[in-house]
C-alpha cells in the first residue's frame, strides 16, 4: 500500500479515536421499603416540628404508592434508571394478614410495580403452600440466592422464585433480560436476593427448604454474575443491618445492599424528635481492598421510603452512593394521639406545621393514592372492622412497645403480656388441668408486635395485631442456673450492635439487673422471683416453673437454653383450648431435623392447631382475660422488672 495513503488512513483513525466521547458513568437510583408487615393503613405517630410536639399519621400502602409514582415520574423526566425493591417481611403485623393470609399482600404489592422482593422470615409464617400462592400471585420476582427449593413440593420449580434477576437500561426504560448478551450495549444491573441462613430456627414452617450460608452463596452468585459480564450488582436482603455490614466486608463485588429485618431507620431524625439512627448509605470496604459496598435500609411498617443514588465508574466500581429515608406524612395534625375534632389544631397552626415540614429534608406530606385507598376500603376493611370483636377495656394513655430498653425506659406492653400469662396459667380453671403453679413468666420482646394507642381496646387489637402469632402458652421447669443462662444468652444476643433485639426478655414475677461490661456483653448481678409477696433470690439448683409462649419454649429465635434442656426429656405442658376449654398437651422432648428446624414431640396426642375444635392462641386469650377481669383500664405496670445498665 502507498505509504502516503497508509499514513492518511492512520491519521484519520487516530483522529476518530481522539474525537470519540469518553464512556459516561452510569448512575442508578433505587427506591426501597422493607418490613412493611401488612400495614396497609397509616399508623399514628408523634413528631416534633420546631418546638411543638404533634400527632399525625405516617405511611400506609396508598401513601407508599403515591411516593413511588412521584419518584418514577421524576426519573422519567430525567431519563434516569430507577428500580423499586422490597427488603422482605411484607407478611404479618396487622389484622389484615390474619384475615387474608397473604392474599391481600399479593394484591396490594402487585399494584406497587415493584422490581424485586427478598423473602423475610415472616413470609414463612403459614406454610409453603400459602407462600407458593403468594409468589405466583405477585407480578414481580421474589429473590433468594441462598434458598434451595428443589426438594420442596410447594416451591420447587416456581418461575417467579429466583436467585437473581437482570435488568437492562436505556435511560429510564428498563427491560428484564435473561442474559447480558440479550441486553446488547445497554447497561445491566443484577438484583440478587438473600434470606436468613438460620431461617429454620426462626420459622417452624419451612417445609423441605434448605438455606445456604449467606456469605458463601453471595460470593458464588457474584462470581457467576461477573463471569457473565455483569458490572453492577445489587443485593436485596433480609438479614438485618449487622449482617448486611458483615456481608459487605466479607464478599467482593456487591455494589449496594438494600436490607431489612432489623427495622433500621437509617439517618438522623433528631429534628423530628425520633433520635439519630446509623448513617444512611454508609460504604464498607470489600475484603479485596479495592471495591466498596453501600448499605441502606428504610425502617418499618410502611412509614418511610428510602431513595439511594449510586454512580459507577466505567469499569463498574462505585464512585458515589448517597440518599436518605423520607417519612411519609399526612397533612392533618392533632395535639393528642386520640385525634378527634376537639384535638385538631387550628387551621393557622396546621399551615405553620405544613410549612415546617416543607423545610425538613427527611419528612414529606404525601397524599394517599386514591384508587388503592378505595380498593382497600371496599375490598378488605369491612371484614377487618367486623373481626375486631367485643370490647375488652380502655387504654387511657398510649402504651409504647420498644424491644430494647433505652435510657432505662423499656416496653410498657411486654411486662403486661408476661403478667397476663402468669395470671392465666395460675387461674383455677387452668390449674385444674395442669396441676401446677407457675413461679414466673418470660416474654421475648419480638413476640409483641406493636404499641397501643389511647381508646377502646377490642379483642382484635390483641389477637390480630398485638399478639398475632397464635401461640400456645407453655409451662416448663428450669433450674435457677438454667434461668440465669437463658437470661444471659438472650440479653447478650439482643445487645450486640444492630442485633435482632426481639430476643430481649421481659418478665412477670421475676426481676433482674444486668450490667454491660463491654459492648454487647455483661453479667447479671441480681435475679429474684416473687414468692408469696416477697422477692426471693433465685437459687442455682432449685427448680422453677416458667410460663412463656410455645415458640420460645422450644428454643426458637436464640432461646437456646430451653432447647438444650428438653432434648432428652421434659415435663413441659403446652396449653390450648379444646372445644372452648383449657387442655394440656404434654411434651416428651425436642429435636432438630436435618434442616435445623426444631420439632416438638408429644406424649399421647400431638397439639394440632389446625384440628377442628382446637384453638392455640392462648397467649392472646390470656391477655384478653387479664384485661377484662383484672385491668379494664389498662395502664403500664409500676415497674418492668428489668434494670439494664449499659455502657
Averaged confidence pLDDT in the chain: 93
The CATH number of whichever domain residue 463 belongs to comes to 3.90.780.10
Residues in contact with 386: Cβ distance below 8 Å, sequence separation at least 6, in sequence order = none
- Given this model, what pLDDT does residue 520 score? 80
- Given this model, what pLDDT does residue 17 score? 42
| pLDDT digit string, tens, across residues 313-342 | 988 899 999 999 999 999 999 988 767 788
Q: Label residue 22 by pLDDT band (50, 70, 90).
A: low
Tell me: pLDDT of 6 over 90. no
In the block, cell 438473600 appears at 194
- Given this model, what pLDDT does residue 10 score? 39
| pLDDT digit string, tens, across residues 422-458 | 999 999 999 999 999 999 999 999 999 888 877 789 9
Q: Are residues 513 and 438 in the same domain?
A: yes
Is 500 inside any structural domain? yes
Name the residue with higher pLDDT: 250 or 398. 250
Q: Are residues 271 and 300 in the same domain?
A: yes
Q: Considering its fold, how many domains does the chain have in total?
A: 2
Mean pLDDT calculated for residue range 64-85:
97
Chain centroid to Cα 143, Å, comes to 17
- Given this model, what pLDDT does residue 43 score? 87
- Given this model, what pLDDT does residue 497 score? 63
Tell me: pLDDT of 87 over 90. yes
Q: Label residue 15 by pLDDT band (50, 70, 90).
A: very low
| pLDDT digit string, tens, across residues 558-583 | 999 999 999 999 999 999 999 999 99
Q: Are residues 412 and 509 in the same domain?
A: yes
Q: Are residues 34 and 156 in the same domain?
A: yes
- Given this model, what pLDDT does residue 50 score? 81
Name the residue with higher pLDDT: 623 or 9. 623
Q: Show the domain range for 36.
A: 23-378
Is 447 inside any structural domain? yes
Tell me: pLDDT of 584 over 80. yes
Tell me: pLDDT of 261 over 90. yes
**Could you tell me the sign of the dihedral formed by the alpha carbons of 172, 175, 176, 181, in that order?**
negative
What percent of the chain clears pLDDT 90, i.e. is strictly above it?
Answer: 84
The C-alpha cell at 106 is: 399479593
Distance CA 594, CA 379 (A): 42
Distance CA 375, CA 382 (A): 11
Is 604 inside any structural domain? no
- Given this model, what pLDDT does residue 7 score? 38
Is 586 inside any structural domain? no
Is 574 inside any structural domain? no
Q: Which residues of 583-602 are buried (b: 16+ CB within 10 A; e: fewer)?
A: bbbebeebeeeebebbebee
Mean pLDDT calculated for residue range 593-620:
94
Q: Are residues 250 and 328 in the same domain?
A: yes
Of 378, 399, 426, which residue constitutes the final position of a domain? 378
Is 105 inside any structural domain? yes
Is 288 inside any structural domain? yes
Tell me: pLDDT of 381 over 70. yes
Is 569 inside any structural domain? no
- Given this model, what pLDDT does residue 44 score? 83
Q: Are residues 439 and 323 in the same domain?
A: no
Q: Are residues 318 and 452 in the same domain?
A: no
Contact 243, 632 (CB under 8 A): no
- Minimum mean pLDDT range among 13-27, 43-57, 238-252: 13-27
Residues in contact with 127: Cβ distance below 8 Å, sequence separation at least 6, in sequence order = 154, 205, 207
Name the residue with higher pLDDT: 572 or 3. 572
The CATH number of whichever domain residue 366 belongs to comes to 3.60.21.10
Q: Are residues 79 and 156 in the same domain?
A: yes
- Given this model, what pLDDT does residue 128 score? 95
Contact 235, 254 (CB under 8 A): yes
Distance CA 168, CA 464 (A): 42
Of 378, 408, 427, which residue constitutes the final position of a domain? 378
Tell me: pLDDT of 274 over 80. yes
Q: Are residues 370 and 407 in the same domain?
A: no
Q: Are residues 224 and 372 in the same domain?
A: yes
Q: Are residues 70 and 170 in the same domain?
A: yes
Q: Label residue 143 by pLDDT band (50, 70, 90).
A: very high
Mean pLDDT calculated for residue range 500-522:
92
- Minimum mean pLDDT range among 60-64, 93-97, 414-418, 583-587: 93-97
Q: What is the CA radius of gyration of the chain?
A: 27
- Under DSSP, is residue 162 helix (H, G, I), strand (E, B) or coil? strand
Chain centroid to Cα 185, Å, comes to 38
The C-alpha cell at 190 is: 443484577
Q: Are residues 396 and 369 in the same domain?
A: no
Amino acid at each position: 500500500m502507498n505509504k502516503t495513503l497508509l499514513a492518511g488512513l492512520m491519521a484519520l483513525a487516530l483522529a476518530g479515536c481522539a474525537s470519540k466521547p469518553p464512556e459516561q458513568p452510569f448512575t442508578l437510583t433505587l427506591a426501597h421499603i422493607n418490613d412493611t408487615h401488612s400495614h396497609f393503613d397509616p399508623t399514628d405517630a408523634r413528631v416534633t416540628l420546631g418546638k411543638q410536639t404533634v400527632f399525625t399519621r405516617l405511611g400506609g400502602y396508598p401513601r407508599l404508592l403515591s411516593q413511588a409514582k412521584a419518584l418514577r415520574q421524576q426519573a422519567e423526566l430525567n431519563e434516569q434508571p430507577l428500580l423499586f425493591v422490597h427488603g422482605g417481611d411484607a407478611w404479618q403485623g396487622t389484622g389484615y394478614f390474619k384475615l387474608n393470609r397473604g392474599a391481600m399482600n399479593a394484591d396490594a404489592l402487585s399494584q406497587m410495580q415493584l422490581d424485586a422482593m427478598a423473602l423475610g422470615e415472616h413470609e414463612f409464617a403459614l406454610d409453603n403452600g400459602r407462600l407458593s400462592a403468594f409468589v405466583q400471585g405477585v407480578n414481580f420476582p421474589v429473590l433468594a440466592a441462598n434458598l434451595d427449593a428443589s426438594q420442596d413440593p410447594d416451591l420447587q420449580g416456581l418461575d417467579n422464585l429466583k436467585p437473581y434477576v437482570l435488568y437492562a437500561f436505556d435511560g429510564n426504560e428498563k427491560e428484564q433480560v435473561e442474559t447480558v448478551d440479550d441486553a446488547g450495549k445497554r447497561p445491566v444491573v443484577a438484583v440478587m436476593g438473600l434470606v436468613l441462613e438460620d431461617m429454620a430456627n426462626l420459622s417452624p414452617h419451612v417445609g423441605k427448604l434448605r438455606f445456604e450460608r449467606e456469605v458463601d452463596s453471595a460470593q458464588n452468585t457474584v462470581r457467576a454474575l461477573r463471569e457473565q459480564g455483569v458490572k453492577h450488582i445489587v443485593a436485596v436482603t433480609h438479614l438485618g443491618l449487622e449482617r448486611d455490614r458483615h456481608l459487605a466486608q466479607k464478599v467482593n463485588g456487591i455494589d449496594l445492599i438494600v436490607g431489612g429485618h432489623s427495622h433500621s431507620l437509617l439517618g438522623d431524625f433528631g429534628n423530628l424528635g425520633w433520635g439519630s439512627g446509623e448513617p444512611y448509605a454508609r460504604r464498607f470496604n470489600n475484603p479485596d481492598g479495592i471495591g466498596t459496598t453501600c448499605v441502606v435500609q428504610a425502617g418499618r411498617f410502611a412509614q418511610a421510603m428510602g431513595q439511594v443514588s449510586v454512580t459507577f465508574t466505567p469499569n463498574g466500581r462505585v464512585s458515589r452512593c448517597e440518599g436518605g429515608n423520607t417519612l411519609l406524612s399526612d397533612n392533618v395534625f392533632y395535639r393528642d394521639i386520640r385525634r378527634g375534632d376537639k384535638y385538631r389544631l387550628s387551621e393557622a397552626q396546621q399551615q405553620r406545621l405544613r410549612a415546617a415540614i416543607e423545610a425538613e429534608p427527611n419528612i414529606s406530606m404525601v397524599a394517599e393514592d386514591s384508587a388503592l385507598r378505595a380498593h382497600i376500603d371496599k375490598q378488605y376493611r369491612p371484614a377487618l372492622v367486623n373481626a375486631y370483636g367485643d370490647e375488652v377495656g380502655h387504654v387511657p394513655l398510649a402504651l409504647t412497645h420498644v424491644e430494647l430498653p433505652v435510657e432505662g425506659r423499656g416496653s410498657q406492653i411486654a411486662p403486661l403480656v408476661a403478667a397476663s400469662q402468669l395470671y392465666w396459667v395460675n387461674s383455677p380453671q387452668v390449674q385444674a388441668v395442669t396441676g401446677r403453679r407457675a413461679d414466673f413468666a418470660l416474654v421475648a420482646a419480638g413476640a409483641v408486635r406493636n404499641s397501643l394507642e389511647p381508646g377502646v381496646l377490642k379483642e382484635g387489637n390483641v389477637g390480630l395485631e398485638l399478639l398475632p402469632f397464635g401461640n400456645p402458652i407453655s409451662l416448663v421447669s428450669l433450674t435457677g442456673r438454667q434461668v440465669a443462662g437463658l437470661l444471659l444468652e438472650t440479653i447478650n444476643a439482643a445487645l450486640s450492635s444492630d442485633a435482632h433485639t426481639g430476643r430481649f426478655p421481659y418478665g412477670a414475677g421475676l426481676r433482674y439487673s444486668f450490667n454491660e461490661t463491654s459492648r454487647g456483653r455483661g453479667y447479671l448481678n441480681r435475679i429474684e422471683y416473687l414468692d408469696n409477696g416477697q422477692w426471693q433470690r433465685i437459687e442455682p439448683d432449685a427448680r422453677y416453673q416458667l410460663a412463656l409462649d410455645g415458640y420460645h419454649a422450644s428454643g426458637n429465635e436464640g432461646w437456646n437454653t430451653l432447647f438444650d434442656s428438653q432434648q432428652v426429656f421434659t415435663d413441659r405442658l403446652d396449653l390450648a383450648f379444646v372445644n372452648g376449654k383449657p387442655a394440656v398437651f404434654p411434651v416428651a422432648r425436642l429435636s432438630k431435623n436435618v434442616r435445623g428446624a426444631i420439632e416438638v414431640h408429644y406424649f399421647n396426642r400431638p397439639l394440632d392447631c389446625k384440628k377442628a375444635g382446637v384453638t392455640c392462641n392462648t397467649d392472646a386469650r390470656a391477655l384478653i382475660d387479664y384485661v377484662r377481669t383484672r385491668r379494664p383500664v389498662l395502664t403500664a405496670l409500676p415497674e418492668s422488672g428489668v434494670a439494664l445498665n449499659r455502657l
